[in-house]
Every structure is written in C-alpha cells, then in structure tokens.
Amino acid sequence: MIQRSALLGFMLTSAFLLNACSTGAYFWQATTGHLKVLAAAENINEVLARSDVSDRLRTQLEYVQDIREFSVGRLGLPDNQSYRSYADLNRAFAVWNVVASPADSLTLETWCFPLLGCISYKGFYSESNAVALAESLRKQGLDVAVLGVPAYSTLGFTPDPVLNTFVNYPAGELARLVFHELAHQVVYIADDTMFNESFATAVEELGVVAWLAQPGREGLKAQYEVFDSRRNSFRLLLAQARDDLEVIYESRNSLDRKQLLDLKDQRFKQLLADYAKLKQSWGGWTGYDRFMAEDLNNAKLGVSGLYTQYVPAFKALHKLCGQSFPRFYAATEVLGEFPREQREILLAELQRAEPLSFGFKCL
C-alpha cells in the first residue's frame, strides 16, 4: 500500500530546472538528496563479497539478484543498472511525500513541473521539510497527509539502488516493489498519476505471481498469499469508505457545510471501527495500524486510490495481449497517447470487458 508506494522521478529532472527561482530551493533539495543516495550505493556483488555482511542482508540481496534477472528474462522490464546496487541510508524512509485535498473532496491537489507534468504529491528528503509544508497547507484549510516512502523511481534517468528502507521486506513483497519501480521506466504519462501507478501496480501483481510460481518457492508463496489477502481486504475497506465519501461530497449543494463535515466525520469513525473488526479477523495483526493512526483524512484516502483504480483494466489489457508483456507494454504506451478523456473511456471498457472504442486494440 502507501507504505511502500512509488515516488515518481521528479528529482533527476530537477537538476536541469534550478533556474526556476520560485522552486529553486525545492529542486535543490531533490537533486542533492538523490545524489547522496547514489553516492551511498555499492554494487551488490561487491556487498556480497564482504565478510561482514549479515546473513539476513546476504539472503535478501540474493533474492534481489534473482528478482532482477527474472524481471528482464520473463517480464521484459529494462535491463539496466537499476536495483543492481545497494545503499544504506541510515533512515527509515527514502523520502517523505506530502499530499493534500480539500476538506470536502477526495480530489488531490497537484504540483506541476516541467517535463514531468502535474503530480499529486510533493516529495522531500527531509521529514522536517515535509512537515513544514504540511503545516502550511493545513493552515489553508486542506486535509493533508505526510507519507514516509521507502522507494522511488527516477524513470531510468539514473540507476536506482536497492535501499535499506525496503531490502528486508518478505521476498514476495520485495519482488513486487522492484517490478513496480521498473514498470515506471517502461511507461510514464505526464499529468496522470493514477494511470502510471495503476499500470505499475498491475505489472507488480502479475510479475510476483509468476515469480512465486517457480519451483522451490512454495513457502514464499504461502507467506505472500497471507499478506496479500490481508492487503486486499484492507484495500476493499478503504475503497468502500472512498465510495461513501464521494456520495457525501456530491451532496454538498444540498447540505450546509456543518452537516457535510459531520457526515464526513461519522464515516471516518466508521472506517476506524471497521478496521478494528478486520484486525480481529487477522488475529490482531497490526500491519496497517500506522496508516490508520496518522493523518487519516481525505488526502490519505485519495492517494490510496491512485494505486488501484485501473489495475483490473490493465490486467484485462495484459490478457487481451495474449499475456505477452512486451505487447502489453506497447499497448499501454499507445493507450497513454490518447487524450485523458478517451483514455478513461478505454480503461472503463477494459474493466467492464466491453468492446473497445476509438479503434484501439492490442497489436
């Protein structure tokens, strides 16, 4: 979910944008922050050759190497230097994302940058800088969330390393993350975060099923399926809350603001109660406690939907392309060239298994 979500690659292009006075400080922290990450990276083979490497880290990095080769050979993802090095940042997260939305809407605020277009977050390498922006946005009356992000993609501009912030994930989750980030290097559409994240999530989900299906992975597969079942139940809980809140916010013209905000508050209280029941069904597993405890508001619910909205549509497109990843990627690129309105129509048709408009097909 959000705890391991992708931060798209704003920081590399920022190196070319420092002449923009109004955003110079922001781009400077992004550029220098990423350069420090690159400076800390060491080739995985060199790390594994050291005698002082812990057994745990050795095992995880060996998984990464296997995942990386699989990503190229079976999934057709880029064969470059990304995720072939390792960096210990000595902190819990790679970056911190700030997301915001109106108090009566799930629509996320956006920030626009040259080359990358408009994106639904602003990322910082310093938590204190993220918190400072969040406070200023809250003073404007916005719902705001600060999200620690363990991994991000630079869209292939530089070799993204494996980081200590996610290297100890269970093997299935490690595979998901690497496949997701590499997918961003294959297709990236400016101004459409939901398209980009849903595509990458579809790739990661399809990829991890194939990776775990290999002989000898039965134990890892069983471990993954337990976690994935919990994640899907949690996603459904959030989706139901988003749907209900959308109905509430669509009534803003027939309700006074106090009534609307009271209904909003009641729905968030129901979400917390529903989560408590869900935890009981998991035997008290606490994996999403932090997500539910901090900044639970429109912004957090809005950003959670970015990663899953079109996943069924992209999986349907993969099937339409004969489950060929290269054909699937090519078709996604073509889909991304349509104007946003037509893109959304096609994605909805794919999701409903309907004939596709505009002469679109998988070649």
pLDDT for 162 equals 98
pTM score > 0.85 for this model?
yes
Q: Phi and psi for 35 in degrees, rounded to 5?
A: -60, -35
Tokens 């990386």 belong to: 68
Contact 102, 174 (CB under 8 A): no
pLDDT for 116 equals 63
Which tens digit of pLDDT belongs to each residue from 129-179? 999 999 999 999 999 999 999 999 898 899 999 999 999 999 999 999 999
Contact 173, 180 (CB under 8 A): no
Which tens digit of pLDDT belongs to each residue from 259-285? 999 999 999 999 999 999 999 999 999
CA dist list (Å): 183 to 170, 201, 203: 20, 8, 7
> Which residues does 191 contact at the CB level (< 8 Å), separation at least 6?
117, 118, 340
pLDDT for 115 equals 64
Can you say whether the dihedral through the CA atoms of 99, 102, 103, 108 is positive or negative? negative
pLDDT for 19 equals 37
In this prediction, the residues of the chain whose per-residue pLDDT falls under 70 are 1-23, 115-116
The whole-angstrom separation of Cα 305 and Cα 241 is 11
Tell me the two tokens of residue 223.
Answer: 């471990």
The mean pLDDT of the chain is 91
210, 160, 140, 205: which is closest to 44 by C-alpha?
A: 160
pLDDT for 23 equals 65
Contact 69, 205 (CB under 8 A): no
DSSP-derived secondary structure for 143-189: EEEEEEESEE--TTSS-PPEETTTTTS-HHHHHHHHHHHHHHHH---
pLDDT for 190 equals 83
